[in-house]
Amino acid sequence: MTREAVGENMIESIYLMLAKIGYTHPIHPAITHVPVGLTIGGFVFDITSRFLTRPVLAQTARHCMVLALISVIPAMLLGYLDWQHFYGGAWLFPIKMKIFLAGMLLILLSSALILGLKPEKNANSILLIYAFCLAMVLGLGYFGGELVYGSKTVESGVAEGPVADGARIFNASCAACHYPDKTETKIGPGFQGLFNRESMPSSGLPVSGANIRKQLKTPMQFMPPFSDLPEEDIEALIAYLKTL
Ligand code: HEC
């Protein structure tokens, strides 16, 4: 077995374990609010300490930022796991931005920690760094939202029935990698006019519900498997793909 395959299996076994206790959601969002909240809190305490000239609040701010630094590390690790599991490690634009912003946040929080050893002397630089930290967490939140909701293509129109359900599932699980309204490749092939084509875009197999199901259960190469997608959702996805 290759090294990558071993790593992949380790990650998948974590998600399998969680699924066994009934947890099938991404795990990064559950913890990511901890460093985000602490960073916002730290910034607010530091600003307040200046307005009210209460140095003790600046100390509270520093404590918040130390906890932010400690908690940002597991948040980044879980973000990495979710990225591998739910997006197959695909280099999507919001992912690149999140990796960059999280790296910057880590550096900024560490610098604030070091400057905090001489808090009186470095008070202004510390506040400036906190402001940058705040900007990083706002950016992280923005691109997290982009990743999950950004590629929504059906905002209105038919709201009920399998086609609408299929569209919703597609937007949530597939649109990050597949265009519904183009034939060009995003990460995987575009699906415009899929059911009017001679053959499936990647495998060259005949276009059919069965072959879509096959790709979901046992993807050819880079696509993450969707093996626990309920039968109902697969039917809805196929119904939707037929309308493209
Ligand atoms: C992380 C990116 C990614 C996601 C998410 C994704 N796909 Fe794919 N898809 C791919 C890639 C890459 C291919 C090219 C074949 C391969 O590498 O498996 C592909 C190929 C396909 C094909 C063509 C198979 C063939 O036989 O030619 C279909 C159909 C498909 N995907 C459907 C879906 C559906 C439906 C979803 C959502 C439930 C989805 N994909 C989610 C990346 C993705």
Which burial class, exposed, middle or buried, applies to 2 when counting CB atoms under 10 A from its CB (0-12, 13-18, 19+)?
Answer: exposed
Could you tell which of 194, 197, 215, 217 is best to mutate to test the pocket of ligand 1, judged by most ligand atoms within 8 Å of the CB? 215
The number of the ligand 1 atom at minimal distance from the alpha carbon of 202 is 27
Give the residue ranges of the chain where pLDDT is below 70: 1-8, 150-160
Distance from residue 212's CA to the centre of ligand 1 (Å) = 9
Q: Across all residues in the chain, what is the average pLDDT?
A: 88
Contact 149, 48 (CB under 8 A): no
Give per-residue pLDDT as tens, 10-21.
Answer: 877 888 888 788
Cα 46 from Cα 83, distance rounded (Å): 34
Predicted confidence at residue 219, as pLDDT, reads 93
The number of the ligand 1 atom at minimal distance from the alpha carbon of 194 is 29
Predicted confidence at residue 90, as pLDDT, reads 74
Residues having CB closer than 6 A to ligand 1 are: 87-88, 90, 173-174, 176-178, 187-189, 200-203, 205, 211-212, 215-216, 219-224, 226, 237
Tell which residue, 33, 28, 34, has the closest CA to residue 82.
28
Predicted confidence at residue 4, as pLDDT, reads 55
The number of the ligand 1 atom at minimal distance from the alpha carbon of 241 is 35
Tell which residue, 134, 126, 149, has the closest CA to residue 101.
134
Give per-residue pLDDT as tens, 120-162.
Answer: 899 999 999 999 999 999 999 999 888 777 655 444 444 567 7
Distance from residue 216's CA to the centre of ligand 1 (Å) = 7
Predicted confidence at residue 154, as pLDDT, reads 45
> From the CA atom positions of the chain, what is the Rg in Å?
23
The number of the ligand 1 atom at minimal distance from the alpha carbon of 90 is 1
Distance from residue 188's CA to the centre of ligand 1 (Å) = 5
CA distances from 17 to 23, 131, 224 (A): 9, 39, 18
